[in-house]
Amino acid sequence: MRKNIPLIAVVGNEASAKEATDIIPNINTIVVKKMNENNWISVLPPNFAHDLIFKGISEALNNLPNVMPFKVKKACKIWVQSEKRRLFNRN
């Protein structure tokens, strides 16, 4: 079954964030990896990354009216994992 699920945020490195903002104006990007001048990759520690991602996704959900949906044209699989099941409860 196919669903049209809009992309509301991009989590990853600086390059993916730039690419996303070039394609989708007002998209929320959450940068957790950066490449320095020596081509070394700097990755945030998991506890900082988790907090940053949670905050960024919350902002993305509040920003929905300002983002033109970008719909993925090909079928893909999405996997979500969280130890905080309460985040997935519908109220």
What does each of the 91 residues of the chain score in pLDDT, given as a tens digit?
555 566 789 999 999 999 999 988 889 999 999 988 888 889 999 999 999 999 999 999 998 888 876 766 777 777 776 666 665 665 5
CA distance 27 to 47: 24
Report yes or no on whether pTM surpasses 0.75: no
Helix (H) or strand (E) holding 29: strand 28-35
pLDDT for 12: 92
Do the Cβ atoms of 21 and 29 come closer than 8 Å? Answer: yes
Q: Where are the domains of the chain?
A: 9-81
Closest CA to 57 of 4, 3, 7, 5: 7
pLDDT of residue 73: 73
pLDDT on residue 56: 94
Q: Looking at domain 9-81, what is its CATH homologous superfamily?
A: Dipeptide transport protein (3.40.50.10780)
* Residue 88 confidence (pLDDT): 60
* CA angle 18–50–72, rounded 5-degree value: 45
